[in-house]
Amino acid sequence: MNIMIMTDLEGISGVDSIDMMDREHEGYKRACSYLSGDIHAAVKGCLDAGADKVFVVDGHGGGNNLDPSLLDPRAYFCQKKEWLQLIESGEINGYMEVGCHAKPGTYHGFLDHTQNSKKIFAYLYNGVEQGEIYQGAVYVGAYDVPFIMVAGDLSACVEGRALLGDIETAIVKEGIGRNQARCLPLEEAWIRIEKAAFSACKHLSQYKPYKAILPLEVKVVFCRTDFCDEVNMSVRGRERLDARTVRRFVPEIKTYSDIMI
């Protein structure tokens, strides 16, 4: 049993303010240290449940949030290109996300957004607004990999279950408005993550891959017209619907870029 853990930073235990996402802010270093704690808990849960290999991806921004030397030595650190190759090779049996946030417009969703909070107002798939949990599920599901666990704030975990059914969740905090959160004590949060990862791996056979209805309509509504102006419309299949909206149809999901604009 090989497990892939995708990480983000907004939903990590102990991260309670938008300021902690600023790499120049003193709180960012604390966020990265908490990231290591969440990953350690998830990896331990997977291995204790019998996982043979656990792969970890530093998925926030351009990466460089996680010090690989702080990983459990039994885990494998993956660059972004490597994790795509592992999913597409069929080597991964289960996928989980640690540090999740909710999609844009989620009430009390801590730092809710999809991809780019400054530029993108909404991502819609087959006419339904979705977030990054959906994007991960659709991509790995195309290769028959089930999405088995979400760890993050309350809104992200609710979103994950609404989309994927009775998957394991680890709620580590609750949003107060958008830019602040009320967090559990770190030790309690890490226990929740470890238990959720353990249970997800133990019950891996019960989870089914999430399959998108194809062809998949991908639509992005930008926050401003000039952000839409910047989109390269020469890419095959892209069309501009109005001042802020671009659409494309995807007949088959082969790469992660297929589900993006």
Q: What is the mean pLDDT of residues 24-34?
A: 93
Residue 37 · residue 190 · CB < 8 Å: yes
Sketch out the chain's domains with CATH numbers: 2-114+130-206 (3.40.50.10780)
Whether pLDDT at 142 is above 90: yes
Q: What is the mean pLDDT of residues 250-254?
A: 95
Q: Give the C-alpha separation, 124 to 245, whole Å.
A: 10
Q: Give the C-alpha separation, 104 to 136, whole Å.
A: 16
Confidence of residue 64 (pLDDT cuts 50, 70, 90): confident
Q: What is the mean pLDDT of residues 120-149?
A: 98
Whether pLDDT at 110 is above 80: yes
DSSP run (H or E) holding 55:
strand 53-58
DSSP output for 83-109: HHHHHHHT---EEEEEEE-PPTT-TT-
Q: Give the C-alpha separation, 95 to 86, whole Å.
A: 11
Whether pLDDT at 63 is above 80: no
Q: What is the mean pLDDT of residues 101-111?
A: 97
Confidence of residue 236 (pLDDT cuts 50, 70, 90): confident
In terms of Cβ atoms closer than 10 Å to its own Cβ (0-12, 13-18, 19+), residue 8 is buried
Residue 223 · residue 120 · CB < 8 Å: yes
Q: What is the mean pLDDT of residues 50-77?
A: 89
Whether pLDDT at 23 is above 90: no
Residue 86 · residue 69 · CB < 8 Å: no
**Average pLDDT across the chain, whole number:** 95
Q: At what angle do helices 186-202 and 26-48 cross, to 10 degrees?
A: 40
Helix (H) and strand (E) counts for the chain?
A: 6, 12
